[in-house]
Amino acid sequence: MYWNRLLLTALLAFSAQGGTLLEVGAGGPAIFASAPVGVSIAYASGFTIEQNHTNVQLEAMIGTTGRSYAAGQAYVTRSIGTGTTMADEVASRSMQFPVIAGLQSGSFVSVFSGLTLDAGTYFLVFQTPAGNSTDPIGIALGNSLMTAPGVTFAGNFGRAPADSYGPASNFAAYTLTNFRIRVSGDAVEPTETVPEPASMALAGVALVAAGLMRRGLVMKSPAQRAGTHTRYTRF
């Protein structure tokens, strides 16, 4: 029984390893939404996971058509919008937006990797530098949506101009289409503690000993079973 349960636990853990949790816009054209001229913009995409995950990787199809100096910021946060602070951050980094051939080309770029995320809602946020008329910069769009069991897409949001701290921008829901992101990771299955065989044997011995002690306390001696008689001597 012990080894069967141990094998079942191992199989469950193996089946939870790896895999795409969410992908937006798979297979669609990489049409980019770009920042307005002279304005920084913030993009955000949200998702909810019902289990803890490790080795989480977040990717996005982002780029610029020629601005090799297009450095922006990326964040993973637990909330967005007015009132969001650095205390809500899970991770953040500066990054270069890769150069793409045109607004209908591009590929997924790894933005964060190796993250551990507890069950909850998270947002992948990008903050671009100011756009210009000749070299747009932004994120690709797509309509399709794929989610794994226990994962929910929480929507797209945008703001131009962005707040100085991108995740705190006064975001509005972007409902025309989706921003192209991909999330993958390993689900952490709940583990059941299975007693070791030696521990189980000790527990059994303790139960037997307790039973014997209880019998000894309530068992009557032969004299008690025969009854006790007191004799009185007359003087």
Q: What is the pLDDT of residues 79-127, one digit of tens each?
A: 999 999 999 999 999 988 888 776 566 778 899 999 999 999 999 999 9
Q: What is the pLDDT of residue 27?
A: 61
The tokens describing 28, both together, are 């669609």
Q: What is the pLDDT of residue 203?
A: 57
In a domain, 180, yes or no: yes
Q: How far apart are CA 60 and CA 89, in angstroms?
A: 18
Are 206 and 137 members of one domain?
no
The tokens describing 107, both together, are 């590929």
Instruction: Using the Cα atoms of residue 72, residue 75, residue 80 and residue 83 in order, give the sign of their dihedral.
Output: negative
pTM of the model: 0.72
Nearest to 80 by CA among 38, 24, 42: 42
> What 3 state SS string does 109-154 have?
EEEEEEEEECCEEEEEEEECCCECCCCCEEEEEECCEEECCCEEEE
Q: What is the pLDDT of residue 53?
A: 97
The boundaries of the domain holding residue 205 are 197-221
Which helix (H) or strand (E) covers residue 32, if one does?
A: strand 31-34
Q: How far apart are CA 173 and CA 158, in angstroms?
A: 7
In a domain, 107, yes or no: yes
CATH of the domain at 58: 2.60.120
Q: How far apart are CA 4 and CA 110, in angstroms?
A: 40
pLDDT less than 50: residues of the chain: 1-17, 212, 217-219, 225, 229-235
Q: What is the pLDDT of residue 185?
A: 97
Q: What is the pLDDT of residue 97?
A: 82
In a domain, 11, yes or no: no
Are 62 and 102 members of one domain?
yes
In a domain, 122, yes or no: yes
Are 204 and 108 members of one domain?
no
Are 216 and 107 members of one domain?
no
